[in-house]
Structure 1
Amino acid sequence: MKKLVLAVFSFTLILSSCKTDKKSEVTAPKMELSILDKVANAHGFNQFRNVKEIAFTFNVDRADSHSERSWVWNTITNDITSINKGDTISYNRTSMDSVATKLNGAFINDKYWFLAPFNLAWDKNNITYDHKSDVPAPISKNPMQKLTIVYGNEGGYTPGDAYDFYFGNDYMIKEWVFRRSNQPEPSLVTTWENYTDINGLKIAEMHQNEDGSFKLYFTNIKVTSKNP
């Protein structure tokens, strides 16, 4: 009988020990996302890995003038098709001649306007940044968060340029400022508005300055998924 009691007592100790060991396990803390990632993710950056192809038309209206150019970008192969004033030219970004290099400069500009929040994640190794809260936005004057990024002085088409992003607690960009070569004065200030959700990508279709004399907007947007 004593042996039985001792066996039961020993078994109870083993179970108790196991329970204690489980309670003592420490879960590794989750990494806090940077402000760059928070803004990118708010705009659907996590869904970009499912995208196969993006097509859009980049439009600019100034006073009585209108210009536009269209692009088709295969995000997997990096094949680009440019459609501008009736001319269609295709190239691959991994192998470009002088004509393709010039076209690619326009593509980079237009794509940046189209997917600027994603570039916060893509370009994080080539930028410095500063984040502030409760700063008046330049157009609406509403208090918002402000994220300033400055590109490095080497590489890219416009090295050293700076951008000020203004957004609320949802991290969705409402206004921004472009400052060429990180000069103090704004080179261009516009809104980010008319957001649309296309396959998880949240795109601002309209950007305009304070008096509406400059409008930059996107039409013919199409996002093709890898697994439609």
Structure 2
Amino acid sequence: MKPYLYSFIVAFALIIGCKNEKKTTTTEVEKELSILEKLAYANGFENWNKVQELKFTFNVDRDTSHFERTWIWEPKINQVTAITDVDTLTYLRKDMDSVAHKTNGGFINDKYWLIAPINILWDKNGIDYDHSQNVEAPISKKPMQKLTVVYSNEGGYTPGDAYDFYFGDDHMVKEWMFRKGNQAEPSLITTWEDYVDIGGLKIAKMHQKEDGSFKLYFTDVAVKTN
């Protein structure tokens, strides 16, 4: 082989090698997800753009009392229908009167319980968060990862509130703690259990306190996709 031809082949191989190395590095960076994204994607966030309608009934059993309300949400047009035993109200979330605004507070609460791991990704610009490893979960006492989310003091229905999510390496929430106004003491601690896959969304249907005196759960969950 002639010297100049050998030099050309070596130089060409080096150029290709550099390009491949750069491509690999870029791909690795693109695959690196934030902790908020990891939780959201573990719960089916990649399928959310297919959701045309999300229907669910929010139930609370506290001691001997029972409360429930049903929601039908059409996220493409952001229309909500609230159904209770006394009334039905349909409204667009971008155009709410005082009655709809009050009703929407219940919707915000109930959908947060339903899809909180996805909701916190939507809320990322209005929260501060901290991620810890190997933290003892409050109910099971098992070592888990912990994500603390604190909402801004401005805007929203419950400004300044904090949530502690406890989860394993699969990024599926197993327990959580709600702290009103970011106070140190917990306001409520419940499980996240009875997961189902509906329309590509992973939903925990049951949340309950350790002593069973409080149960929050979902029934009639249905997802329509395009």
TM-score range, shorter chain: over 0.9
Structure 1 residues 20-63: Cα deviation after superposition (integer angstroms, max 9, x where no partner):
31112122241421111111111111111111110000000011
Query: d(CA) in 1 for partners of 2:9 and 2:199?
Result: 50
Partner of 2:126: 126
Partner of 2:55: 55
Partner of 2:13: 19
Partner of 1:181: 181
Partner of 2:65: 65
SS at match of 1:30: helix
Structure 1 residues 40-90: Cα deviation after superposition (integer angstroms, max 9, x where no partner):
111111111111110000000011111100000001000110100142110
Q: CA deviation at 1:190?
A: 0.2
Partner of 2:161: 161
Aligned-partner residue type, residue 67 of structure 2: S
SS at match of 1:20: helix
Query: d(CA) in 1 for partners of 2:43 and 2:83?
Result: 27
RMSD over equivalenced CA pairs, Å: 1.5
Query: d(CA) in 1 for partners of 2:157 and 2:18?
Result: 54
Q: Which runs of 5+ in 1 are unaligned?
A: none
Query: d(CA) in 2 for partners of 1:189 and 1:183?
Result: 14
Aligned-partner residue type, residue 24 of structure 1: C
Count of aligned pairs = 220
Report matched runs for 1:145-160 at 5 Å.
145-160=145-160
Higher Rg: 1
Deviates more, 1:184-193 or 1:14-23: 14-23
Report matched runs for 1:1-228 at 5 Å.
14-25=8-19, 26-27=22-23, 28=26, 29-31=28-30, 32-226=32-226
Q: Once the two structures are aligned, what percentage of the paired residues are identical?
A: 58
